[in-house]
């Protein structure tokens, strides 16, 4: 992805968060030069902040995700915080590809906007689709979904995704962008994503201009 595209998408995200009355921490708006001396913070160590990916496809509108990690622990360092929280923007028909997590259990919450469609599969011992129905909790009520079946989260609704449950999601066409929250156990996007079809989690960036705000993957280079 070009840095100019990333900068524009972050600016659009800031406008959408504001319109949805969702407030980010003050450091979300720091310029790169304001990060000097912040290398030993929990923000940097636990990869908090802006995160954006096209999953290596180069077609962000079709397959991509922009998110902001608000809080997180750290599986590698043994940081004591056992939970994480993210806020995401999912566009109409913009797919977050099919994947599961080995370690993370998460609640996905529609915080407002359009409807979020989630396709589900169970997994087997070979980490392939199990071909069996999947039972998930949605706002405390059990729902059984056929293999590859979908659930739709309207604003205010949520789903619990346990370890090993394959899922992909996208905004329902005609309903608008979706403000999506995630509350989970510790998140590690470097080691804990099992994509059904192998793909990179983070994008390669063409630095055609300087960053407006740093991505969490920029910290080692700029701080």
Question: Using alpha carbons only, how large is the chain's radius of gyration in Å?
Answer: 17
Neighbours of 33 (CB within 10 A): 7
Instruction: Give pLDDT, residue 87.
Output: 98
Instruction: In whole angstroms, give the CA distance from residue 69 to residue 58.
Output: 23
Instruction: Give pLDDT, residue 9.
Output: 98
Q: CB under 8 Å to 20, separation ≥6 — which residues?
A: 111, 112, 113, 179
Pick the CATH number of 3-222 from 2.60.120.10, 3.30.70.270, 1.25.40.10, 2.60.40.1930: 2.60.120.10
Q: Quick check: 218 pLDDT over 90?
A: yes
Instruction: Give pLDDT, residue 158.
Output: 98
Q: CB under 8 Å to 65, separation ≥6 — which residues?
A: 52, 53, 88, 90, 94, 96
> pLDDT-based confidence at 163, cuts 50/70/90?
very high
Give 42-81 pLDDT, tens digit per residue: 999 999 999 999 999 999 999 999 999 999 999 888 889 9
Strand order of the sheet with strand 49-53?
49-53, 65-71, 83-90, 178-185, 106-113, 158-161, 134-138, 141-145
Give 86-111 pLDDT, tens digit per residue: 999 999 999 999 999 999 999 999 99
Instruction: Give pLDDT, residue 66.
Output: 98
In the chain, % of residues over pLDDT 70: 100
Mean pLDDT of 172-196: 97
* Mean pLDDT of the chain, nearest integer: 97
Instruction: Give pLDDT, residue 7.
Output: 98
Q: What is the DSSP letter of 154?
A: P
Instruction: Give pLDDT, residue 79.
Output: 86
Q: Quick check: 5 pLDDT over 90?
A: yes
φ, ψ for residue 9, nearest 5 deg: -65, -35
């Amino acid at each position: 992805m070009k840095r100019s595209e990333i900068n524009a998408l972050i600016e659009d995200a800031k406008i959408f968060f504001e319109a949805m009355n969702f407030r980010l921490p003050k450091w979300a708006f720091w310029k790169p030069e304001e990060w000097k001396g912040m290398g030993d913070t929990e923000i940097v160590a636990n990869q908090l902040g802006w995160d954006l990916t096209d999953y290596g496809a180069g077609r962000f509108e079709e397959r991509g995700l922009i998110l902001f990690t608000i809080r997180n622990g750290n599986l590698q360092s043994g940081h004591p915080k056992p939970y994480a929280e993210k806020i995401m923007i999912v566009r109409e028909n913009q797919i977050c590809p099919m994947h599961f997590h080995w370690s993370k259990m998460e609640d996905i919450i529609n915080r407002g906007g359009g409807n979020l469609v989630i396709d589900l599969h169970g997994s087997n011992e070979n980490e392939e689709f199990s071909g069996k129905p999947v039972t998930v909790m949605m706002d405390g009520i059990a729902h059984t979904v056929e293999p590859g079946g979908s659930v739709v989260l309207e604003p205010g609704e949520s789903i619990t995704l346990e370890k090993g449950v394959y899922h992909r999601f996208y905004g329902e066409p005609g309903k608008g962008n979706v403000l999506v929250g995630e509350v989970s156990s510790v998140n590690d996007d470097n080691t804990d994503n099992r994509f059904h079809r192998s793909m990179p989690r983070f994008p390669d960036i063409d630095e055609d201009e300087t960053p407006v705000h740093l991505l969490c993957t920029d910290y080692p280079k700029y701080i």
